[in-house]
Amino acid sequence: IHNDIKIIIIDYLQLMTGNQDTKGNREQEVAFISRTLKAIAKELNVPVIALSQLSRATEMRGGSKRPQLSDLRESGAIEQDADIVAFIHRPEYYGINQDENGMPTAGMAEIILAKHRNGAVCDVNLRFLKEQARFADMDDSMLPPGQASESQQAYDDYASGSNGMPSGSVTPGGFPGGLGSATGSSDST
Assess contact for 176 and 167: CB atoms under 8 A.
Answer: no
- Torsion angle defined by CA atoms of residues 143, 146, 150 and 151, in that order, rounded to the nearest 10 degrees: 10
What is the DSSP secondary-structure string of 106-144? TTEEEEEEEEETTS--EEEEEEEEGGGTEEEEPPGGGSP
Q: What percent of the chain has pLDDT over 70?
A: 70
89-116 per-position pLDDT tens digit: 999 999 999 988 888 999 999 999 999 9
Is the omega angle on the peptide bond into residue 155 within 30 degrees of 0, that is, cis?
no
Provide the whole-model pTM: 0.70
| Residue 76 or residue 183, greater confidence | 76
Contacts of 177 (CB under 8 A, 6+ apart): 41, 42, 45, 46, 47
Contacts of 135 (CB under 8 A, 6+ apart): 109, 111, 126, 127, 128, 129
Question: What integer is the mean pLDDT of 128-134?
Answer: 92
Backbone angles phi, psi at 161, to 5 degrees: -65, -15
Using CA atoms, how far residue 18 sits from 67, 70, 78, 80, 159, in Å, is 26, 22, 14, 18, 35
Question: What integer is the mean pLDDT of 39-64?
Answer: 89
133-182 per-position pLDDT tens digit: 999 998 765 666 566 556 556 555 555 444 444 444 343 333 333 444 44
pLDDT of residue 110: 94
* β-sheet with 108-116: strand ranges across: 8-10, 48-52, 179-184, 84-89, 108-116, 122-129, 134-137
For residue 1, pLDDT over 80 is answered with no
